Structure formats: C-alpha cells, structure tokens
Amino acid sequence: EKEVAEAKAGRERARKMVVRVLEVAEWLLSDHRPAVRANAIQAVGAATLALRAHPDTLNPLLHTLWPVLSRRFRDESPFVRVQAAALAGALIQDAPDFLCARVHKSFVPAAAESLRQPGSSSLSLALRHTLLSSLSAIALSVPRHAHIQEVVAITCDIAGTCLEHALSSTSPSSSSSSSAVLAEQLQAVDLLAKLADHPFLPSVGDAVWYALACRFGPDTPSPDAPPTLISSSSRVA
C-alpha cells in the first residue's frame, strides 16, 4: 500500500508540474522575442501530450490557452507560424472532441491565408508543408459522432483550401501535397458518413465536391476521375 501511495503521489506531482508548464507557457506565448514564442509553443506540445489521457485536466487548460495560442497562427515570424501550425495538427489528435470547432474557426482560415502567400525560401516551403500536414491531421480527426453538417462544413473548408492551393501553386510538389491531403480527406469523410449512419444523405465526399464546384466553378475535377489526386503513401514532401 505504501508503494501504491508513493506512486500515486509521484504521478500527482508530475501532473502539477505539467500544468505549471502550461501556465507559464501562456505568458511566454506573447513574448516579444520570436525564439521565446517558438519555445513556448514546443513546451505546450510536450505538456499537452503528457496530459492526453486526462481530458478533465487538459481541456480547461486548452480553453485558457487557446486565445493567445491561436494568435500565433498569424504570427509575424514565419518560424513561429511553422511551430504553431505543427502544434495545431498535434493538438487536434490530443483533444479532437474539444478542439475540433476551435481549430476549424481559427486555424483553417489562417492556413488558407498563409498558403496564398508566395515564397520560395526554405522557411516558406517548410511552412507550406507543415500547414498541409496539419490540415490533413485535422481532416482525419473530425470526431466520429460529429453532426453531418459540422463534418461537411469542416471538410469543405479544408478541401477548398487544398484545392485552391493545388490549382494555384507553381510548384509541382506543393500542388501534389495539396492534392494528397484532398484525396485523404475525401476517403476519410466517406467513412465518417457511414459511421454516422445517414442512409438518406449522399456521401459526404459528394457533398464536398458539390460545394467545391459551387465555389470554384464547373471545371472542378470530378471525384470519379481525379487526374491530380495521389494516394497518401506517395505524397511528395
């Protein structure tokens, strides 16, 4: 019994330490130095991973952190934006139910803005790759019990962002990466529709393509013959 009590006390001390890390990170996320903001983002990622199995502790902390954290998605420093984008993709896997709507509202529009910005530097390429990877993680982490309208809204926005980038990018690798995310998403949302058991609705994939056709015009590639889509296993980094 003594050993069990000591082990429990040790876990509690560790939990309090992780919580303290997140509380300090909240202040450092607004520091005037980009390096400090980037380090704070990395600390948040490590701490949330440690609390992944304890949503009752993690979710209130994320609620407190989110306003200042979401501002880093549009940080003036490209390096900080890379770190923030990577964190968004990780957090949605740590707390998909709690963060799904928040990520959709704040990260997806910021990612779309960043993907429209030109740039050929290694940092710009890293940012675009990280944004697409995180968008893919978000698309695949939509909660299975989410309402069908929420699923369609999230998938349409992410699919639209990726398709716009794929069609406008002058880099074949960037265009292929966007197309790969789109292909992954269309495969995933069909599964979500089946799990949601909506037999009288068209597939969510069909709904996404319809929405994209309305947004980009009748020349939007058909899901029956997608010439640019590639499988996730052959994605170009």
Cα 205 to Cα 5, 81, 144, 158: the distances in Å are 52, 30, 15, 12
Which is more confidently placed, 45 or 151?
A: 45
CA-to-CA distance for 222 and 237, rounded, in angstroms? 25
Q: Are 55 and 101 in contact (CB under 8 A)?
A: no
pLDDT, residue 187, reads 62
Report pTM: 0.74
CA-to-CA distance for 47 and 57, rounded, in angstroms? 11
Chain-centre distance for alpha carbon 204: 19
What's the rounded mean pLDDT across residues 207-212? 56
Q: Are 193 and 156 in contact (CB under 8 A)?
A: no
Tokens of 61: 């902390």
Query: In this model, does residue 16 exceed pLDDT 80?
Result: yes
Dihedral angle at the C-alpha atoms of 73, 178, 134, 236, nearest 10 degrees? -120
Q: Are 142 and 96 in contact (CB under 8 A)?
A: yes
Confidence of residue 1 (pLDDT cuts 50, 70, 90): confident
Cα radius of gyration rounded to whole Å, the chain: 19
Confidence of residue 7 (pLDDT cuts 50, 70, 90): confident
